[in-house]
Amino acid sequence: MTLYDPVAQFCARHHLLDAGDTVVVGVSGGPDSLSLLDILRRMSPALNLKLHVAHLNHGLRGAEAEADAAFVAEMARRWELPLHQKTVSVAQIARRQKKSVEDAARIARYTFLAAVAQKTSAQKIAVGHHADDQSETVLLHFLRGAGLDGLRGMRPAAPVPVVADAPVTLIRPLLETTRADIEAYCRERHLSPRLDTSNADGAFTRNRVRH
C-alpha cells in the first residue's frame, strides 16, 4: 500500500502546501526524511513545488555522519534537487550553551533549516516527524510534567521552534504515518535509507522512551 495518497490527503486536509510553494526539506538520509522527500518530489508536478534538500551534519558520528552527508548529496543529484549542507559541532554548542546534546542538536537543526529557508525565500520547511514520534513526544512531555498544550503533541503546521519570528511555516506531512508504514514505503519504492546507529544509544532520553 503506497503512502502517497494518504500523505497527499493529509496535506490537503491541513492546508500544508500551496501551489507554487518553495519548500526546504530536512533530510538526514534515514527512512522518514527520505520517504518524505520522495513523496514531495512526486507531488511537485501537480503543485509546482520548488524543493530544496537541507542536510545538517551534527559532528557527532564521525565517518558514519560523513557517509550520511554523501548519501544525501547523491540523492539530491540523482533527483536534480538543489542541496544545502552544513557541518557543526553539536558537542561544542552543548558545552558552550550548557545544554544537553539533544537540545543543542535540536536548536542547531532548526536554526540551520530556518537559515536555508531565508536564503531560498521558502514559505515552508518540511520535516519527517511521524506518528511514532508523536507518541514519544507526548510521553516525554508527560514525564516532564507538561500541561495540556504539551500533551497535545506536535501539530501538522507550526512556527519554527527556537527561531523567533521566522517568516516560514514548519510542516509535518507524515504526522499520521507510522514508522512501519514508512519502512514499507521504502521497500515499495526501492529506497535504501541510511540507518543512524545513535538511535540505539540509551544515553539519549528519547531513545530510552522509544525502546
pLDDT tens for each residue of 115-139 = 999 999 999 999 999 988 876 665 6
Instruction: Read off the pLDDT band of 142 (50, 70, 90).
Output: low
pLDDT reported for residue 209: 45
Q: What is the mean pLDDT of residues 162-189?
A: 93
- Residue 164 binned pLDDT confidence (cut-offs 50, 70, 90): confident
Q: Hey, which residues does 57 pair with through a beta bridge?
A: 87
179-188 and 31-47 helices, crossing angle to 10°: 70
Percent of the chain with pLDDT over 70: 84
Judge whether residue 195 has pLDDT over 90.
no
